[in-house]
Chains A and B, each alone.
Chain A
């Protein structure tokens, strides 16, 4: 392998994983050979290693050359950045709100508290906000980076440029229009759910008050929480979808495609839960252990709860499939209307 070949291979290693990598390498090799030939004819020198080194030095470091072929040299580009910032702000606010509510519940449950315990709880609350915000930032950045890489620009116009027509104020709302409070509410609720499931899962349970203090009984087993990363992706995508709706004010083609994608992930999660081990902690044994129910009642209730939740999730899968079909139908109608 000569120097030119080694250089081309080195550039190839640094090229982004895009279609046509071999083609770029082939063209680069051909160009370098052309340039060398040009030098030989203009200088009258013989081709040697020194000439190749001189040429390659001028052409530039392999990583820099490869960088020029990178169509998206940023994690989140200018097309998505305003949306990214907008969602990040709503999400951080929602995280802070969710954790504040969760901490409030915790203080109420544990009261009366000593000053030290109270300060400790407040400290944990602040730390949770910081770590949850960093986690939220990471999740949102990951989803946006994936959209940046894989979503076609033509389909995912996050900020559709359309001429504003004052006459639109006179029109009746169209079925595709979205009221601004709907996506905002959805984003806030989703983030409260994310912060509770990720940072305060102990709050998800059945509560009882015996006149002196609150006791809680966990609702889900570890089998449920093992799918949490997948749920986080679906929730993060849901937030992005609502950000798109907030920005465009209507269900456009890209929003409907995103919605279908999210529903497919939701079906996968529901399927994994239905077919996996018991994820509901309300089992006959657990109910018996609470000493609230006798053995027979615990057995009946526990069995019913286990069967009931699976039936409910089965219905959830069916409902989501229906939703996908409905969204797909609206999408086709919209596409036909756009092309007409």
Chain B
């Protein structure tokens, strides 16, 4: 029981670390929160709403995302898109990620 819980916590930590990169990588074209959530899930990364929405707000506060409200189907939706600053750091994050994957693959081989 304790082992399962520890494993869940570790996996959660691992996933939490990659969500920023995942979200930024998918916001080259503007998307509202739920569409991003579904897109990430379709690509195999299930993210909890309680994690994604506050994260989007945080990234916006850090200047990495921009957002705008649009009225669609009689419902307002908040669309997010990567900002100029976000575009600048995304390649660096990708490079960093590739480095981590390479190192970990070597370690776990």
Contact = CB atoms under 8 A, between A and B. Distances in A.
Interface of A: 20, 23-24, 26-28, 30-31, 33-35, 38, 59-60, 64-65, 68-69, 71
Overall SS of chain A's interface:
helix
A30 B71 CA distance: 11
A24 B56 CA distance: 11
B17 interface: no
A30 B53 contact: no
Contacts of B75: 30, 33-34
B76 A64 contact: no
Contacts of B87: none
A65 B77 CA distance: 19
Nearest to A71: B58
Contacts of B50: 60, 64-65, 68
Contacts of B51: 68
Contacts of A33: 75
A20 B57 contact: yes
Contacts of B35: 34
Contacts, number: 42
Nearest to A67: B50
B26 interface: no
Question: Which of A23, A27, A33, A59: most chain B CB closer than 10 A?
Answer: A27
Given A38-B38, A64-B50, 7 more contacts: A27-B78, A30-B76, A34-B75, A68-B50, A69-B54, A69-B57, A71-B58
B9 interface: no
B76 A34 contact: no
Interface of B: 32-35, 38, 49-51, 53-54, 57-58, 69, 75-78
Contacts of A64: 50
Overall SS of chain B's interface:
helix
19 contacts: A20-B57, A24-B53, A26-B76, A26-B78, A27-B53, A27-B78, A28-B53, A30-B32, A30-B75, A31-B33, A33-B75, A34-B32, A34-B34, A59-B49, A65-B50, A68-B53, A68-B54, A69-B53, A69-B54
Nearest to A68: B50
A203 B76 CA distance: 67
A38 B35 CA distance: 11
A-B residue pairs, 9 tightest by C-beta? A34-B34, A68-B50, A68-B54, A27-B78, A69-B54, A31-B34, A30-B77, A31-B33, A33-B75
Question: Which of A20, A65, A68, A71: most chain B CB closer than 10 A?
Answer: A68
Contacts of A34: 32, 34-35, 75, 77
A34 B76 CA distance: 11
Nearest to B33: A31
A59 B51 CA distance: 12
Contacts of A71: 58
Contacts of A35: 34
A144 to B, nearest CB: 23
Given A33-B75, A59-B49, A27 B54 contact: no
B33 A27 contact: yes
